[in-house]
Chains A and B, each alone.
Chain A
């Protein structure tokens, strides 16, 4: 046990006056809960006195000192103030495993804060905590907190921090740590403490700080929120030192929480925007490639408006356009004379063909003389070590701006340039694109008939049956599954793409997204990969425990199938071991029983389904369970892809 500090007020050296000491010896009274919402707390003992004691009196009377004069209780713990700070920012949830380095803060959240706004979500892996926060942001449009324990917790969390970073999604990561070596418990606490906590993830977070006082904490927490939410967004880290949490706040009344004002996103330079409009309006075959452009429902409307103004096709899927819009899809990079890349993470990849053979080769697929324009906030913020910035793309114009925020001025600039004659030509072009899209939908339907009755079940059939099970309802996808065969009309109906293709992120992102949809009563469904689920299946328990309704349908191909294919490539190139690709990649012998796995954690589970005829009835039952508020999982044994 550490000895008392000489200076300052801390949990180990808060010596009290003799009177308090005497009272402390008398009775171990329980301090009343500070917030009424802490319903689970016991009522304080009844006091016979007619005049209730003042808070200060009560504090003094209930203060305990050890025989050797060390404080054993504390009033106004620093972590209570931290909770006030987070409440002031409207944080709704904290996703976390428990961890001793933030025991003070956890206790403040659940008791002082009443476990409401934010509410504690019990997680089974820090990797899940982070991705639950990521998934929540994708739907709620605001960050939540994910907590991790000093060293080991953050090490677990790091993969999905990277995934959120690549997706440019803000997560406020709060880390517990014991900085003061003099006060650390021997043994484990040393192993779990670190000099510079955020160092191990600093390459893929936007900002971090280790506040050493409560005013510093308040300022940095507000700054963390603001930086995380400033385009390009990203995860941020705030270290909550153990002493700062557990020691008393010196004078709560003097502690201020700075005002939070979010930074508006950067809009494209008007001169450049006018030139982009000129190129687009004059183009014969413009193509809009859209990546992570749309962040809001309004953004989707703007994207439709730009497409309709230009009568240009928009490729990129996801949440950019209603997918049955006549201009959603169509066009091609090879035939385009002007390509507008909006928030495209890999514009090089979109404009080149890369051949993964023994000798890797590539070529551009754009037409000679085609103009390439990029509007992206990615140019505003780039780091060196991790290569998620992708290959350097030669473009003709680059606007360092947020694409969604630039859409209104771009639309206006285009409209100003379109004459009646041009309008007629554009409308003709639009009709052709629309007709091609009608044909593409018909082709997709025909394509779905192949292997319709196959077992293992075709992934297209699984997707179509899932759509049919929810299509009349207010549904939202929380994972994979959407295709041309789904009618996706609203922004919130897909969770948005982006990320580092990190296996193990899918399940918790779905849980987080479903959590954000919960208050709207939407039926959340998603297709879940088996390999991804096996990384940290405990997120299923979190969904059950917190009554997060959602339906996951397993795309169970019983393998890390992408890797099976990679091994086959190696075997083919080396001309040996043709039948060995499955070794180390398949998840068979034994097969995992996902329905049982789900049931064991309190979800409704069904399957494994191998006969496609059983799929629709099983989905119907599962959707009914979800409508009652339960999470459910159906295991479907599928074709590989």
Chain B
């Protein structure tokens, strides 16, 4: 019993931290994110389908954790152009992130005859 109560307490505590955690993604507007993804040029290197291509890595489905996501965009490690606060607000980043979360998992390789070579 004590064990169960402890469990519940721990779960509540983590729920609270999640809410207050500055690292967690703020809620975003996926629809606006979709628009920005094109308007701000993310599609150019990551493709409209966010599957990545010759010019940038795949971003969705399952985007990297939000803090790393923000870092990658504000201060890219390599060739990606930096997007400062002047260019993209934090809320807009959250919107893009929300949009990337809407991408469904791809079909299994074996379900695609053209890839069963």
A interface list, Cβ under 8 A from B = 353, 355-357, 445-454, 456, 458-459, 461, 464-465, 468, 471, 485, 487, 561, 564-565, 568-569, 571-573, 575-576, 578-579, 581, 616, 639-641
Contact = CB atoms under 8 A, between A and B. Distances in A.
A641 B55 contact: yes
Given A452-B107, A568-B41, A458 B87 contact: no
Given A565-B45, A572-B81, A465 B114 contact: yes
A451 B60 CA distance: 10
B48 A456 contact: yes
Contacts of A451: 47, 49-51, 106
B83 interface: yes
B53 A640 contact: yes
Contact of A579 (B40, B84, B106, B107): B40
B115 A640 contact: no
Contact of B82 (A357, A485, A487, A641): A357
A572 B83 contact: yes
7 contacts: A447-B58, A453-B107, A454-B51, A565-B45, A569-B81, A616-B114, A641-B54
B114 A449 contact: no
Contacts of B40: 578-579
A446 B109 contact: yes
Contacts of A568: 41, 44-45, 81
B43 interface: yes
A641 B86 contact: no
Given A452-B107, A465-B114, A458 B49 contact: yes
A459 B55 CA distance: 12
B86 A575 contact: yes
Contacts of B108: 449
A133 B83 CA distance: 45
Nearest to B47: A639
B27 interface: no
A449 B53 contact: no
B114 A487 contact: no
Contact of A452 (B45, B53, B56, B112): B112
A565 B39 contact: no
A640 B43 contact: yes
Contact of B84 (A458, A459, A575): A575
B56 to A, nearest CB: 8
Contacts of A616: 114
- Count chain A CB atoms within 10 A of each CB in B45, B76, B84 and give the residue with the most: B45
Contacts of A487: 117
Interface centre among B40, B56, B84, B117 (most CB of A within 10 A): B117
B117 A449 contact: no
A569 B45 CA distance: 11
A458 B58 CA distance: 12
B48 A448 contact: no
Given A565-B55, A573-B81, A581-B41, A640 B106 contact: no
Contact of B51 (A356, A458, A578, A581): A458
B74 to A, nearest CB: 11
Nearest to A641: B53
Interface in B63-117: 76, 78-79, 81-84, 86-88, 106-109, 112, 114-115, 117
Interface residues of B, number: 35
A447 B115 CA distance: 11
A361 to B, nearest CB: 11
Contact of A449 (B47, B82, B112): B112
A525 B53 CA distance: 22
Contacts of B117: 471, 485, 487
A575 B87 contact: yes
A145 B52 CA distance: 42
B82 A448 contact: no
Nearest to A457: B49
B75 to A, nearest CB: 10
A204 to B, nearest CB: 28
B63 to A, nearest CB: 13
Contacts of B106: 449-452
A337 to B, nearest CB: 25
- Minimum-distance CB pairs A-B, first 5: A641-B53, A572-B81, A451-B49, A451-B51, A454-B49
A640 B47 contact: yes
Contact of B47 (A355, A578, A641): A641
Contacts of A571: 41, 81, 87
A624 B86 CA distance: 54
Contacts of A565: 41, 44-45, 55
B117 to A, nearest CB: 7
A622 B7 CA distance: 65
Contacts of A448: 109, 112, 115
A572 B78 contact: no
Contacts of A454: 47-49, 51
Interface in B14-65: 39-41, 43-45, 47-56, 58
A461 B107 CA distance: 13
Given A449-B112, A468-B114, A579-B39, A561 B44 contact: yes
Contact of A464 (B39, B45, B114): B114
B115 A464 contact: yes
Contacts of A449: 106-109, 112, 115
Contacts of B44: 561, 564-565, 568, 581, 640
Nearest to A450: B51
A159 B22 CA distance: 55
B101 to A, nearest CB: 15
Contacts of A471: 117
B47 A356 contact: no
Contacts of B78: 353, 355
Given A445-B115, A449-B107, A487-B117, A639 B41 contact: no
A450 B108 CA distance: 10
A483 to B, nearest CB: 11
Nearest to A465: B114
A564 B46 CA distance: 13
Contacts of A578: 39-41, 87-88
Contacts of B88: 578
Given A356-B79, A452-B112, A578-B40, A639 B49 contact: yes
B91 to A, nearest CB: 15
Contacts of A461: 114
Nearest to B108: A449
A420 B25 CA distance: 59
Contacts of A450: 49, 51-52, 58, 106
B88 to A, nearest CB: 8
A117 B25 CA distance: 70
A465 B113 CA distance: 10
B30 to A, nearest CB: 17
A494 B100 CA distance: 37
